[in-house]
Amino acid sequence: MINVNRLVKTFGATRAVDDVTFDVKPGEVLGFLGPNGAGKSTTIRMITCFLTPDSGTVNVDGHDTQLDSIEVRKLIGYLPENNPLYMDMDVTDYLNYIAEVRRIPGGRRKARVDEVIDICSLGAVRFKAIGELSKGFRQRVGLSQTLLHDPGFLILDEPTSGLDPTQIIEIRNLIREIGKEKAVMLSTHILPEVEATCDRVIIINKGKIAIEGGTNDLSRKAEGEAILHAAIKGPAPEIETKLSALEGADSAAVEKEIAPGHCRYIVRSAHGVDLSEQVFNAVVSNKWILTELSLEAVTLEDVFLQLTRSEESGA
Amino acid sequence: MYNIWTITKREFRSYFGSPVAYIFLVVFLLVSNWLYFQNFFLIGEASLRALFFYLPIIFIIIVPAITMRLWAEERKLGTIEILFTLPLNDSEAVIGKFIASFLFLTLNILLTLSIPITLSAIGNPDAGPMIGGYVGVLLIGGAYISIGLFASSITDNQIVAFIIGVVACFFIYIVGDAFIVMRAPGVLAQLFQFLGLAAHFQNIERGVIDSRDIIYYLSVIIFFISLTVAYIQQRR
């Protein structure tokens, strides 16, 4: 369990992290989300003992990062932002070096390095210099390094940045696989990533936690309106008035004319109100023809944009 | 100790990860041998005085080139973040890197042993000053390396680290040089002579190994290693 308690870090005049408090529980994948420069990496660097907080504490399984730094580092596997690696080293040499610093005893070291190479599918490149590898393979090397000492906590700072879509999927699957046994905290500014991999999300903006909750809760929590798209064949003005008159509907308007007498309408309602049934009934009772009906799902993206935008207008 | 040795091994091997190390060794050997032998046959003296005169000056250029990448590269690549989140102390990493560079410099110096071996074959050199000279060269080299190590820790640019290193080594070398000391006013002259690397080297080069000189060099090394550790900690 990682307890982050009232963490503050200032660089010059900017408060990069401003009174951040949260927990990472065992067995969960926590998404740490925020726009660039929100303070994600700074927070992570304080958890991993790379930076010292100005105030506040981080506690990892009972060890304080400032008082008991070495113990904390033993418990954490960390992939820093941009996946830094020694380009001139072989994959195996590099893993051996990390394993040595991690005090994996000489007898078990080779077996463990082989295991990790296997988990991350690095077999084909194990004797190549890291500098010669493609970005996807480098990312696996970075990830394999975090697994060597079988840590209870994995902290990954933007693990998929700069990868192509296939590589992203591979890395995500790998993270989810690993996340079954460990507590994983991953930061990202890509929203679908959180929806694809995380159980819980913390959205951070301008150094403060903006919102915290389960991935599904958050989408539900999104304030604003529900939007329904309906394509209907029939007389446009009549449809418009009848749809706006539906109970709960705020407005209805032609979105786009598909063909003469066949339009796409947009029906807006308060958040949480599902008008699809009523729209369908109206179509049936008026003997129009319904060709399409869809509810625009509120995504995490909307929550995110809303939060970051309202913060900005407030500031 | 274990951690220091792990870091040292990685650093030392990384010198040989590219052809640079071999080029380095060859250039160093060519330059030092040339500077030594250009006057050797004119003077006709079976001693290493000329070598020990030139080596500290060659080091002013060579040592910062050895040390420039130690921290600057870690910063540039970002691997410093890996290094300082591994379970080891800052000082262990700093000392490990110092030792790696020192071993590489020692390797360079060992290759100049061809000169005293040649001398012993053709003449009858005095062993005392030769041994003293090599001890002195190692000490002065270690002092330069600690300075270069610090220079490398304050930047992420290797060229900047190199230039700062050269200037700092040059400065601390000439401060104790007779040329400066003779022109400085009384109290300062003594201070300069005490601080300068060169003045302490002159004793050892004569074959006189004085504990004060050894303590002086070790102090310089410890001072700059501590400064590096302090600087790295303060940046975090």
CA of B16 vs chain A CAs: smallest distance (Å): 10
Q: Are strands A208-214 and A76-79 parallel, antiparallel or unpaired?
A: unpaired
Write out chain B residues lying below 8 Å of A84, CB-based: 77-82
B63 — phi, psi (to 5°)? -65, -45
Q: What is the pLDDT of residue B212?
A: 85
Binary contact (B78, A82; C-beta < 8 A): yes
On average, the pLDDT of chain B sits at 89
pLDDT tens string A264-309? 988 888 766 778 888 888 899 988 999 988 877 666 666 677 666 6
pLDDT tens string B182-229? 777 777 777 777 777 777 777 777 777 788 888 989 999 999 999 999
Instruction: Give the helix/strand (H/E) hosting B140.
Output: helix B127-153
Closest alpha carbon within chain A to B1: A101
Closest alpha carbon within chain B to A71: B87
Tell me the residue type at A280: F
Q: What is the pLDDT of residue B182?
A: 76
Q: What is the pLDDT of residue A299?
A: 64
Mutate to test the interface with A, among B85, B91, B233 (most CBs of A within 10 A): B85
Q: In this complex, is the C-beta atom of B20 within 8 Å of any C-beta atom belonging to chain A?
A: no
CA of A91 vs chain B CAs: smallest distance (Å): 13
CA of A191 vs chain B CAs: smallest distance (Å): 26
Binary contact (A80, B81; C-beta < 8 A): yes
pLDDT tens string A165-181? 888 888 888 888 887 88
Closest to B109 (Cα-Cα) out of B32, B49, B212, B39: B32
Binary contact (B3, A101; C-beta < 8 A): yes
Q: What is the pLDDT of residue A125?
A: 93
Q: Closest partner residue to A49 among B6, B7, B85, by Cβ?
A: B85
CA of A27 vs chain B CAs: smallest distance (Å): 22
Closest to A4 (Cα-Cα) out of A54, A50, A44, A51: A44
Instruction: Give the helix/strand (H/E) hosting A251.
Output: strand A249-259
Radius of gyration, alpha carbons of chain A:
25
Q: In this complex, is the C-beta atom of B231 within 8 Å of any C-beta atom belonging to chain A?
A: no
**The two three-digit tokens of residue B183, written as one number:** 């022109």
Binary contact (A50, B88; C-beta < 8 A): no
Q: Closest partner residue to B85 among A73, A86, A93, by Cβ?
A: A73
pLDDT tens string A222-241? 555 678 888 999 888 888 88
pLDDT tens string A53-100? 999 999 999 999 999 999 999 999 999 999 999 999 999 999 999 999
Q: Closest partner residue to A73 among B77, B81, B86, by Cβ?
A: B86
Selected residue with higher pLDDT from B123 and A127: A127
Q: In this complex, is the C-beta atom of B91 within 8 Å of any C-beta atom belonging to chain A?
A: no
Mutate to test the interface with B, among A11, A75, A101, A185 (most CBs of B within 10 A): A101
Number of cross-chain residue pairs from A and B with Cβ atoms under 8 Å apart: 63
Whether residue B83 is predicted with pLDDT greater than 60 in this model: the reply is yes
Binary contact (A84, B77; C-beta < 8 A): yes
| Chain A positions with Cβ closer than 8 Å to B | 45, 48-52, 70-71, 73-74, 76, 78, 80-82, 84-89, 93, 97-98, 100-103, 145
CA of A98 vs chain B CAs: smallest distance (Å): 8
Report d(CA B2, CA B9) in Å as an integer. Answer: 11
Write out chain B residues lying below 8 Å of A82, CB-based: 78
Q: What is the pLDDT of residue B70?
A: 94
Dihedral angle computed from the Cα positions of residues B68, B70, B75 and B78, in that order, rounded to the nearest 10 degrees: 140
Q: What is the pLDDT of residue A271?
A: 67
Share of chain B above pLDDT 90, in %: 53
Binary contact (B79, A84; C-beta < 8 A): yes
**Predicted confidence band at A315 (pLDDT cuts at 50, 70, 90)?**
very low
Binary contact (B85, A86; C-beta < 8 A): no
Q: What is the pLDDT of residue A314?
A: 44
Whether residue A145 is predicted with pLDDT greater than 70 in this model: the reply is yes
**Predicted confidence band at A157 (pLDDT cuts at 50, 70, 90)?**
very high
Binary contact (B81, A85; C-beta < 8 A): no
Q: In this complex, is the C-beta atom of B6 within 8 Å of any C-beta atom belonging to chain A?
A: yes
Q: What is the pLDDT of residue A92?
A: 95
Binary contact (A86, B77; C-beta < 8 A): yes
Selected residue with higher pLDDT from B188 and B106: B106
* Lowest-confidence pick of A110-114, A166-170, B3-7, B227-231: A166-170
Share of chain B above pLDDT 70, in %: 100
Report d(CA A94, CA A89) in Å as an integer. Answer: 6
Binary contact (A97, B6; C-beta < 8 A): yes
Q: What is the pLDDT of residue B49?
A: 83
Report d(CA A204, CA A43) in Å as an integer. Answer: 10
pLDDT tens string B142-178? 999 999 999 999 999 999 999 999 999 998 888 877 7
Report d(CA B109, CA B141) in Å as an integer. Answer: 9
Q: In this complex, is the C-beta atom of B16 within 8 Å of any C-beta atom belonging to chain A?
A: no
Q: What is the pLDDT of residue A257?
A: 86
Q: By the 8 A CB rule, do A214 and A279 touch? A: no
Q: In this complex, is the C-beta atom of B17 within 8 Å of any C-beta atom belonging to chain A?
A: yes
Closest alpha carbon within chain B to A98: B86
Range from A244-248, B12-16, B196-200, B201-205 that averages highest in pLDDT: B12-16
Write out chain B residues lying below 8 Å of A52, CB-based: 236
Report d(CA B130, CA B49) in Å as an integer. Answer: 8
Q: In this complex, is the C-beta atom of B236 within 8 Å of any C-beta atom belonging to chain A?
A: yes
